[in-house]
Amino acid sequence: MELQFIGAAHEVTGSCHFLQVGNKKILVDCGMRQGALKFENVSLPVDASKIDFVILTHAHIDHSGLLPKLWKEGFRGQILGTQATVSLCDIMLRDSAHIQTMEAEWRKKKGKRGVNEDKFEPLYTMEDALGVIRLLSPYSYDKIYTICDGVRVRFTDIGHLLGSASVELWLTEGRTEKKIVFSGDIGNKDQPLLKDPALTEEADYVVMESTYGDRLHDKDVGYPVEELAQILKETFDRGGNVVIPSFAVGRTQVMLFYLRQIKQNDMVPEYKNFPVYVDSPLAVDATEIFLENEESCFDEEALTLIHQGINPITFSGLKLTISTDESKAILDDYEPKVIISASGMCDAGRIKHHLKHNLWRPECTVLFVGYQSAGSPGRRILEGAEEIKIFGEPVAVRAEIKSINTLSGHADREGLLEWITGFKEKPRQVFVVHGDDEVATGFAMDLSGKGYSAMAPFSGTRFDLATGKFIEITKGIPITKTAKARIVSESYTKLKLTTKRLQELVDASTGLPNKDLDKFTAELEKLLSKYKV
């Protein structure tokens, strides 16, 4: 009964944890790493084809984005998630595959022929995404399911994203039963549309996130809808557009909720009929999924509106654009408007076109409503860049740059502590993940100071859930240029798996005649003599 940490260890992205219970092998999340990376991740300890289940905490790409790659490498097991998570993964993994293919084509055009052409290949294709989507299985909140001998699971609403959940697992080997809880991403309380995070009462072990474990959200800032209304009025008075880079899933729907309130309450009376464009096919699809899952996921305020016949995220003047021609038409319309488009960090998608046409105009406003990672175009704009490159061409930054900082989908330090102290008894061990290096370490120390046995494991750390003892405690290996190449090399991954199989063969050779062992050893030494380390 073993737990091994693979991803989101001293980092925020790439969530992936490996469990082995008896002969069953399980992943909790299979996320893509994004942004600046600090440490190496170990490879999966088994071949992808040997994994029986993947359990998803939610649909964000840093928790689900490597599922198509897992399929590409041979995985054919079952993927479990809530109904909303399954529906969102259906559209998000397709979108990710499209992005992978487009980026590979772009690199191929920019690169030199014959020079490391492997880097021009997409991480995975649409065929891989469609293959793995067929393995998705929806499960309800708050019910305990037996998925195989020795493994039971329950999903509990954690309030981070539509369909997001903490995952409770009851694991049995022989006469030993242990319960482990994976927090997933813990939501921020009192956010629009979604319920507050639910608490869990008991666990032997807890794996919890720490994204904002070192800070508190600013609760003294005014209600964001009032701040948004003021930005709209000032920009429209100048004759400009309000361009909002936004994550297609989650943040876009929250912005629509606020914009409906502004229109409903006539908070910009001089511009009652201002148009709002959502220019992102993924966001349009995601908005439909939000409305399909209202009863199971929406909070009381949103449900009250729905029961009154009011759609909380649609209103007059809302225009959803899907086709390229519809998107281009927005650029030719000079009426002041709101444009919401992805990606939220301005590094891909249609938002780049809208920035190219609006960023240089002093009458316009670019409004940031989500996290901007270090090095992203959005972060550079926020930090005062006078010009940025879009599609390889310099664009002056003359628009007004604004941000609303009260829209986080992650709990702050106070919210994280509220969740972990919700357990009736302190878990035997708390593993702190999904946080930057200093944050994860600091939050684990914070918990230790409050009487918890807590630590922030690095990738590769292994723990025996049956005995409650560490099998292996690894240290973080900083990423160098060489290490980065090694991480993304599928050939290196296969080599690691081959050495593991070789070790299994050596272990199984115990008791063989010395003659056979000597022959086996000689063959290995002959092979090794051909290579230098």
Q: Write out pLDDT tens, residues 60-86.
A: 999 999 999 999 999 999 999 999 999
pLDDT digit string, tens, across residues 120-143: 789 999 999 999 999 999 999 999
> Is the CA virtual torsion 418, 421, 423, 424 positive or negative?
negative
- State residue 34's pLDDT score: 81
Which residue pairs, CB below 8 angstroms and at least 24 apart, start in 283-287? 283/246, 283/248, 283/249, 283/252, 283/340, 283/341, 283/342, 284/320, 284/321, 284/322, 285/91, 286/88, 286/91, 286/92, 286/248, 286/249, 286/250, 286/252, 286/253, 287/252, 287/253, 287/256, 287/313, 287/320
Give the residue from 44, 31, 37, 48 showing the smallest Cα distance to 11: 37
pTM for this structure?
Answer: 0.85
Give me 533's structure tokens: 């380390």
Maximum mean pLDDT: which of 109-123, 134-148, 299-313, 333-347: 134-148
- State residue 314's pLDDT score: 93
- State residue 14's pLDDT score: 95
Inform me whether the pLDDT recorded for 490 exceeds 70.
Answer: no
Residue with tokens 């992805």: 342
Bridge partners for 320 per DSSP = 278
Average pLDDT of 98-110? 82
395 exposure class (CB count in 10 Å sphere: 0-12, 13-18, 19+):
middle
- State residue 201's pLDDT score: 96
- State residue 532's pLDDT score: 56
pLDDT digit string, tens, across residues 428-480: 999 999 999 999 999 999 999 999 999 999 999 999 999 999 999 999 999 87
* Furthest-apart CA atoms within the chain: distance in Å: 93
Inform me whether the pLDDT recorded for 495 exceeds 70.
Answer: no
Residue ranges, comma separated, of all CATH 3.60.15.10 domains in the chain are 2-216+409-488
pLDDT digit string, tens, across residues 259-272: 999 999 999 999 99
Residue ranges, comma separated, of all CATH 3.40.50.10890 domains in the chain are 224-403
Comparison of pLDDT for 117 and 139, the residue scoring more:
139
C-beta of residue 399 within 8 angstroms of C-beta of residue 358: yes
DSSP string, 75-144: --SEEEEEHHHHHHHHHHHHHHHHHHHHHHHHHHHHS-TTSSGGGGS-SS-HHHHHHHHTTEEEE-BT--
- State residue 117's pLDDT score: 58
- Average pLDDT score over the chain: 91
Average pLDDT of 366-381? 87
Q: What is the CA radius of gyration of the chain?
A: 25
Give me 422's structure tokens: 């919700």
Strand (E) positions, 233-275? 242-245
Q: Give the number of other Cβ atoms within 10 Å of residue 361's Cβ.
A: 17
Rounded Cα distance between 525 and 507, Å, is 17
Cα 480 to Cα 6, 17, 116, distances in angstroms: 18, 24, 18
Question: Residue 355: phi, psi to the nearest 5?
Answer: -65, -40
Query: What percent of the chain is modeled with pLDDT above 90?
Result: 74
- State residue 485's pLDDT score: 41
- Looking at domain 224-403, its CATH class is alpha beta
- State residue 491's pLDDT score: 53
Local confidence band at 486 (pLDDT 50, 70, 90 cut-offs): very low
C-beta of residue 6 within 8 angstroms of C-beta of residue 70: no
Domain with residues 2-216+409-488, CATH architecture:
4-Layer Sandwich (3.60)
Rounded Cα distance between 33 and 236, Å, is 39
C-beta of residue 81 within 8 angstroms of C-beta of residue 54: no
Cα 422 to Cα 60, 69, 141, 381, distances in angstroms: 25, 37, 19, 40
Average pLDDT of 182-186? 98
Alpha helices in 344-454 (DSSP H): 351-358, 377-382, 413-420, 437-449
Give me 220's structure tokens: 């003294």
Task: Starting at the earlier edge strand, list the strands of the sheet with 165-173.
Answer: 145-148, 151-157, 165-173, 176-182, 205-209, 429-433, 454-455
- State residue 487's pLDDT score: 44
Local confidence band at 529 (pLDDT 50, 70, 90 cut-offs): confident
- Cα dihedral 378/382/388/390 (nearest 10): 30
- State residue 111's pLDDT score: 66
Local confidence band at 488 (pLDDT 50, 70, 90 cut-offs): very low
**Single-letter residue type at 107:** R
Cα 62 to Cα 28, 181, 288, 525, distances in angstroms: 12, 19, 22, 42
pLDDT digit string, tens, across residues 246-256: 989 999 999 99
